[in-house]
Amino acid sequence: MTEPFTFEVLARQGRARAGILHTPHGDIPTPIFAPVGTQATVKALTPAQLIELDAKLILSNTYHLYLRPGDELVASLGGLHQFMAWNRPILTDSGGFQVFSLTDMRKVDDDGVTFKSHIDGSTHRLTPEKSIAIQENLGADIIMAFDECASPYDRSYLEKAMNRTHLWAERCLNAQTRRDQALFGIVQGGIFPDLRQQSAETIASLGFPGHAIGGLSVGETKEEMHRVLELVDAILPESKPRYLMGVGTPGDLVNGIRRGIDIFDCVLPTRLARHQAAMTPTGRINLLNAANARDDRPIVTGCGCYTCQHFSRAYLRHLIIAKEMLSATLVSIHNIYTLLQLTRDLRQSILEGRFDEFCIENDPQLATGE
């Protein structure tokens, strides 16, 4: 993978780094947080609102789009960028995470996975080759190898799943036909240092243009997550971007960046927004709380997002109680802004050589990341 996906590291502080990933749909400044648009829409937001938030990269889900509306339909309508009217970079996952989450509805073998649709119970099969074919139909800028994400503590099964993931990674590379998509390999291995080391070395040896760390934020402790990140960070080549999958609390972003991560994604900001929870760098606010009934303050005083610039907590609480859709939109805007702005601030602090100071000055919780 050459020109369209060059990755430049502009500055480092400790293991943290600030860079730029060039893609066919534009540059992604790293570190970056990617909001999730599961079904070809970041829930409750228009692309125009995401542009106003200056989101640079969004993630969409292969499993969901394969089932509905179908990757071939998306391809026939010009691909995912055109379908959802998002002209900036898109990343699609491989479908593996969702399929393996259907614990009672799937059967894995060394060749792939047979599963039942959560929508209508129909039977389908995903293999590394099929996942790549779907992702090529969708046409994202960054696509992911088909992996098996297993429970982080079940060593004997994890080992089997990891070996399968390594074989599948090679099959994905061989299956790829488009040269305008960057295919990232995924490191697995649960919480076990020797497995993670083996996985990172194997995946790194395959020549992917970028690497992801999967199987985290699935039940392990923060300390276990951090140990895995440090171990993997020391093995993966520094010249290529690293993506920590499915992770996205403010503390996780700080702690991931501190350990060499460049890309994050998470449904958290939009999911919390639909459950009345506003994110702040230091914790969450339940907007339904009666204390907000007459509160004329924004969610976060001084926050630069559209929601905080215009609306009080009292208004947001009213929308939630009145079951108005606008609450999900406004709180999603705030929550996504919180993570994007935190990432922008952290990036700037790396560029200016004051990453540690930024973390300490802004919040003790950020420093420890909890």
Alpha helices in 139-292 (DSSP H): 155-175, 193-205, 222-233, 250-258, 268-273
Selecting among 71, 141, 252, 265, the annotated active-site residue is: 265
d(CA 40, CA 46): 11
Largest interatomic CA distance in the chain: 60
Is residue 275 a contact point for its own copies (CB under 8 A)?
Answer: no
- 80 Cα distance to chain centroid: 17
Contacts 24+ apart (CB under 8 A), 301-309: 303/334, 303/337, 303/338, 304/337, 304/341, 305/53, 305/333, 305/334, 305/337, 305/338, 305/341, 306/49, 306/52, 306/330, 306/333, 306/337, 307/331, 307/333, 307/334, 307/337, 308/334
| Segment interacting with its own copies, rule: CB under 8 A, options 43-51, 163-171, 225-233, 250-258 | 43-51
Residues 310-329 that bind its own copies (CB under 8 A): 310-312, 314-315, 317-319, 321-322, 324-326, 328-329
**Is residue 85 near its own copies by the rule CB under 8 A?**
yes
Per CB under 8 A, 271 contacts its own copies: no
Residue span binding its own copies (CB under 8 A) among the ranges 1-9, 39-47, 123-131, 140-148 = 39-47
Q: Which of residues 54-83 bind its own copies (CB under 8 A)?
A: 64, 68-69, 73, 76-78, 83
| 296: annotated active-site residue | no
Q: How far is CA 23 from CA 170, 316, 331, in A?
A: 23, 38, 30
State both tokens at 358: 């930024």
Active-site annotation holds for 93: yes
CA distance 32 to 15: 16
Tell me the C-alpha distance between 8 and 22, whole Å. Answer: 8
Among 93, 141, 233, 262, the active-site one is 93
What's the closest the beta carbon of residue 290 comes to its own copies, in angstroms? Answer: 12
In the complex with its own copies, the residue whose CB is nearer, 39 or 163, is 39
**CB hemisphere CA count around 247 (13 angstroms):** 31
Residue 314 or 367 having the CB closest to its own copies? 314
| Residue 300 interacts with its own copies (CB under 8 A): yes or no | no
- Tell me how far, at minimum, the Cβ of 182 lies from its own copies, in Å: 25
Residue selected from 21, 32, 40, 138 as contacting its own copies according to rule CB under 8 A? 40
Provide the binding-site residues for its own copies, judged by CB under 8 A: 39-41, 43-49, 64, 68-69, 73, 76-78, 83-85, 293-294, 296, 306, 310-312, 314-315, 317-319, 321-322, 324-326, 328-330
Catalytic residue positions, numbered:
93, 265
